[in-house]
Amino acid sequence: MIQVASTPQWRARERRREQLFQLVGALIVLFALTTLAVLLTKILLDGFARLNPEFFSSFPSRRAENAGILPALVGSAYLLLLTAAIAIPIGVGAAVYLEEFARRNWFTRLIEINITNLAGVPSVIYGLLGLQVFVRTLMMDRSLIAGACTMALLALPVIITAAREGLRTVPKSLRDGSLALGATQWQTVRYTVLPVAIPSILTGVILSLSRVVGETAPLLVIGAVVFISRLPDSPASPFTVLPVQIYNWTTRPQHAFQENAAAGIIVLLVLLLTMNALAIYLRNRYQKRLPI
């Protein structure tokens, strides 16, 4: 076998195969990147001219050149804050409980399976759930808070899973050390485990929140509006968000609205890239400080 494998012909053939595979791989990457580059270039060309201060400080309008994204931007920011306020405590709390306190039995396994499954549910289903539970049953109406509750549900599975992964990376020796010094389990979690796990928890949180910022379908279902004349002033206010505003503009016949949509997409892209960059930055920065 070894003799056969080391014949020059065999080696030459394998080298050709490898080269072929590399070529195919490179072509696939090139194709994906070219498509992305074409899309980005088109969006930038279409929308860049519209990116002026008025675009950020105006309300939507039937005249494309007067229309702006102010309520959408503010709505997205509020929605993000409210969603974070709801989803982070519940998500991290659930992860800490499952990872640090709960006993492994059929019940926790059931919960785990459900959380994993929920992460794969299409977002529009969360919208229908939110419409029935928050908007109708809990009478929240088409408000920011109803939107934030729905988006929190959407973000929770990802946050819980990411937070649990983070907690799992904390070495057992740290916990044992803390417990050996007489700390209670709560003290161990609070002062030893969580501080070490926070960078990766935070990464998961930011990534799932950036998904929230880009979501359209569930918000359309629960009734985010597409035109609004005032900014939301309380959690009970009607609201709109960036993706909904962009979606609305793309369906208009006038070309000027397509330019607005492109400009809106640039703003959304920058926002998402910033959030993802922040996640990477936090991870890199705090991972180096591990006390081990």
Partner 1 sequence: MKPRLEWVIVACLAVLSLAACGKQDSGSGASDKQSSLSGTIRIDGSSTVLPISEAVAEEFAKAHPNVQPTVGKSGTGGGFKKFANGEVDIIGASRPIREEEDALCKQNGIEYIEIPVAYDAMAVVVNPENTWCDSLTVAELKKIWEPAAQGKIMNWSQVRAGFPNERLVLFGAGTDSGTFDYFTAAIVGKEKASRGDYTGSEDDDILVQGVSRTKGALGYFGLAYYENNQDKLKLVAIDNGNGPVKPSRETVLDGTYQPLARPLFIYVNVKALERPEVAEFVKFYIENAGKLAEEVGYIGLPDNVIALVKERLERRITGSAFGAHGSQVGVKLEDLYKLEEASEKSAQ
In the complex, the residues that contact partner 1 under the rule CB under 8 A are: 57, 59-62, 70, 74, 77-78, 80-81, 135-136, 141-142, 195, 198, 202, 220, 223-231, 233, 238, 248, 250-255, 258, 278, 282, 286, 289
Q: Please, which residue, 115 or 140, has the CB nearer to partner 1? A: 140
In whole angstroms, the minimum distance from the beta carbon of 284 to partner 1 comes to: 13
In whole angstroms, the minimum distance from the beta carbon of 231 to partner 1 comes to: 5
CB 163 within 8 A of CB 100: no
Q: Please, which residue, 59 or 97, has the CB nearer to partner 1? A: 59
In whole angstroms, the minimum distance from the beta carbon of 62 to partner 1 comes to: 4
Pairwise CA distance, residues 104 & 167, whole Å: 16
In whole angstroms, the minimum distance from the beta carbon of 39 to partner 1 comes to: 14
Pairwise CA distance, residues 217 & 211, whole Å: 12
In whole angstroms, the minimum distance from the beta carbon of 214 to partner 1 comes to: 17
146 CB neighbour count, 10 Å cutoff: 26
Name the phi and psi angles at 105, rounded to 5: -145, -175
181 CB neighbour count, 10 Å cutoff: 10
Q: Please, which residue, 98 or 129, has the CB nearer to partner 1? A: 129
Which of 151, 169, 160 has its CA nearest to residue 92?
160
Q: Please, which residue, 153 or 220, has the CB nearer to partner 1? A: 220
Q: Please, which residue, 13 or 62, has the CB nearer to partner 1? A: 62
Which amino acid, one-letter code, is at 166?
A: G
In whole angstroms, the minimum distance from the beta carbon of 114 to partner 1 comes to: 30
Q: Please, which residue, 90 or 102, has the CB nearer to partner 1? A: 90
Pairwise CA distance, residues 263 & 114, whole Å: 39
CB 203 within 8 A of CB 283: yes
Pairwise CA distance, residues 151 & 55, whole Å: 27
